[in-house]
Structure 1
């Protein structure tokens, strides 16, 4: 800045530009003539740095002291005392500094803990809290969400299939009444009504329902031989083709030829699913190709004969396909090798009993089977010769009674069947460690057929034999699902609107309904005379055979003609020769038709007149005589 550009008064000395040096002098000049103040910024920065280093060193030493004391003592200090020690050390260090503290003051050691008094039995030590958490983790019964329940009325017959989409927003139920019903938890109110119901497979019982991994398709397996794929709203997407039932080798057919027993989606590939049937095959399909199956697996017995698979499923990683067969065996194939089995247990269940369910744990190494011999078994696929655990006396009267694992793989649940009037069906929970029954839920006075524990919602769905579908949940542990619909009030029915004012309409008040006034008879006759319809003369009765399309009174029809001319004719035409010769004299006297045509060529007719049979000559041999 130069003096020529300075606008300050003469008492102010203008600053001349100078190079940047180690000291920065800030000159503040006032108009009243006070002296300018100078600040040494580098000295200020150095002092601040030293103060921060000293404060950090003291804080670090204060934090090390409680740790050394806690390691020297057998029991750790309470959390409150540790906080106080840290606060006291920090307060000492802060008092030593000249700077003021920012924020509220730190409480001293003499003060008690801030807040309301602790409840009796409060454990303030970290070890006690850890022990309590470990006890909760070791007890899997506390994770069962059964404090609340809702009941969905599917129908009056057995609920034989349950399906819940991966997000847990919609539930589908199928039963022996051929119906498939759709339930939307977010759209339902307290009345708990399904928003759609239809029969996708006509008059066939529904055996299995399952959503795909993306939740946009539903696999429907019924009692027929063709599985169907529906979209999320229940409209058909694909139907498997039916095979040729007259071909012996099932590998040469394009589809199943007998009743289906089950099916499920691939856990990794969204467009692939499998089905098993009474034709002795397990087939995999693709949604994009409904003309032929993708691959086929044929279970075989020890003698190499065909065996019917009663249930089948994928492993959790989708690399294995397991099937429970009617001869009591469990056969597992590699998904890419369909000829020979990878694992084969020959005596898993009693032969000639239907293994109703086979499922893998979430870990993928444990396999659970629900047998028709009233047993529940777990297997380790790494040692597949004998089961890990077995429990019996679990009645099963349905070919689709299933079992499932809890989301944490600590419990295995299944349902029991009962006869009518002999008790209530129960949902049993078994611990996978020692396989003891740790919990049970009495569901209803009918059999428990289906059970499903959704890992995301943490809710249990149960299908029963009397047409009910129950949902068990816990308000604290469960998420969404049934919690969404129970809080909604029941919608009021819309009342039809009524007229606020009644209208009285007089009969024949409009001009179009008024009758004309009666005129005089003469004018009415003159008007009728001009009307061609009223002045038309009726036609007289037909006397002859009929004319103008009208049938006569007698002899006009074929039947009347026959009755008149033929049936009532008294002439006896039993001898046709006599009837013809009766006209011989007239034809000879007055030839008209035949005789003139043959007059020049026809010879004279010579007839042998024979009066009677007695005049016949007897000199003819017997073989020439006419036989009568």
Structure 2
């Protein structure tokens, strides 16, 4: 403006993005065409009172109107065909936040904005104005704090409100709203169907059933006696296999005729006698009738000569000196 830079406080686009509107700190509202970015297409210098900041500008859904929420406690409606002056202006809407919103309803019939209050001096409201006459048609008491942000969602048809004390609320119509908060609403409890019938129920105590009965501690002897019939718990050995072997086990003897004969009829050749006595039994016969050993020595050694048995002491004396055991005596 006149070669000076100004700081915008808020801006917005229209629905198709062809127009860009911005409110600046010099109380002006400027609208640019997307195709003409050098100079604004629409410009109004004193849109709101000097020394105040415009907190919000919003296009209507049909793109023919613009609403502005000023820091001078006013809400104004501007026509895009005649931007030299506001069409309507509503006052008495206090605001103390630089981001207080205003918006259009999805059908462009209403304009809504919020009001601010001092702490402990009442509650903030959500105020609705009719677009054609700019009459205040409805208002909602939100909470005991200022209403800062508001949004009327076009698809959900629900109003979201944010307050100065950190509270967020969603307003919806059960019939006209779609999804959104309706999905979070607690469903009403279904009424139970009352059926008057007489039944005789059986009372079953769970601890009386064998499945839930706790096992009592028994002595080791009684436990062994109880486990005795069970072959798995008592580790009962497998009985011998009758007949031919199977399952990796060798069958018992006597299953065939040959094994019966070998077991009962065949002679037992095991010899448990003394071999020395068995040899001495033939000594006299060998002396009377020598046949193997004696004839070989009949000429050279007719009389048998045997080595004399010497004691261990004599053998030790006869050993050479280098073989004798040496004893070391320590005094």
TM-score (norm 1): 0.29
Give the secondary-structure state (helix, strand or coil) at the position aligned to 2:36.
coil
Name the CA distance, whole Å, in 1 between partners of 2:63 and 2:33.
Answer: 14
Residue 304 (structure 1) shift = 2.5
Higher relative contact order (CA 8 A, sep 6+): 1
Residues 1:352 and 2:51 aligned together: yes
Q: Which residue of 1 aligns with 2:31?
A: 332
Q: Which residue of 2 aligns with 1:462?
A: 161
1:395 to 72, 94, 104: 94
Residues 1:485 and 2:163 aligned together: no
Residue 433 (structure 1) shift = 1.2
Q: Deviations over 1:140-177 (max 9, x none)?
A: xxxxxxxxxxxxxxxxxxxxxxxxxxxxxxxxxxxxxx
Question: 2:9–2:23: 8 Å Cα contact kept in structure 1?
Answer: yes
Question: 2:12–2:21: 8 Å Cα contact kept in structure 1?
Answer: yes
Query: Equivalences for 1:278-427 in 2 at 5 Å?
Result: 300=1, 303-427=2-126
Name the CA distance, whole Å, in 2 between partners of 1:321 and 1:312.
Answer: 7
Question: 1:327–1:350: 8 Å Cα contact kept in structure 2?
Answer: no
Q: Which residue of 1 aligns with 2:245?
A: none
Residue 480 (structure 1) shift = 1.1
Name the CA distance, whole Å, in 2 between partners of 1:317 and 1:345.
Answer: 23
Residue 336 (structure 1) shift = 2.7
Question: 2:31–2:40: 8 Å Cα contact kept in structure 1?
Answer: yes
Name the CA distance, whole Å, in 2 between partners of 1:395 and 1:487.
Answer: 36
Q: Which residue of 1 aligns with 2:194?
A: none
Q: Which residue of 1 aligns with 2:150?
A: 451
CA RMSD of aligned residues (A): 1.2
Give the secondary-structure state (helix, strand or coil) at the position aligned to 1:452.
strand
Name the CA distance, whole Å, in 1 between partners of 2:23 and 2:143.
Answer: 29
Residue 488 (structure 1) shift = 6.0
TM-score (norm 2): 0.55
Name the CA distance, whole Å, in 1 between partners of 2:11 and 2:89.
Answer: 20
Residue 474 (structure 1) shift = 1.6
Q: Deviations over 1:194-217 (max 9, x none)?
A: xxxxxxxxxxxxxxxxxxxxxxxx
Aligned length: 188
Give the secondary-structure state (helix, strand or coil) at the position aligned to 2:68.
strand
Q: Deviations over 1:566-605 (max 9, x none)?
A: xxxxxxxxxxxxxxxxxxxxxxxxxxxxxxxxxxxxxxxx
Q: Deviations over 1:428-454 (max 9, x none)?
A: 000111101000000000000011111
Residue 387 (structure 1) shift = 0.3
Q: Deviations over 1:207-256 (max 9, x none)?
A: xxxxxxxxxxxxxxxxxxxxxxxxxxxxxxxxxxxxxxxxxxxxxxxxxx
Residue 455 (structure 1) shift = 1.5
Residues 1:475 and 2:174 aligned together: yes
Give the secondary-structure state (helix, strand or coil) at the position aligned to 1:483.
helix
Instruction: List runs of 5+ in structure 1 lacking aligned partners.
Output: 1-299, 490-628
Give the secondary-structure state (helix, strand or coil) at the position aligned to 1:482.
helix
Name the CA distance, whole Å, in 2 between partners of 1:373 and 1:335.
Answer: 30
Q: Which residue of 2 aligns with 1:536?
A: none
Q: Deviations over 1:330-364 (max 9, x none)?
A: 11111232211111111111122111000100110
Whichever of the two has the greater Rg, that structure is 2
Residues 1:435 and 2:131 aligned together: no
Bigger share in helix: 1
Q: Which residue of 1 aligns with 2:264?
A: none
Instruction: List runs of 5+ in structure 2 lacking aligned partners.
Output: 189-331
Query: Equivalences for 1:136-147 in 2 at 5 Å?
Result: none
Name the CA distance, whole Å, in 1 between partners of 2:172 and 2:32.
Answer: 37
Name the CA distance, whole Å, in 1 between partners of 2:134 and 2:187.
Answer: 40
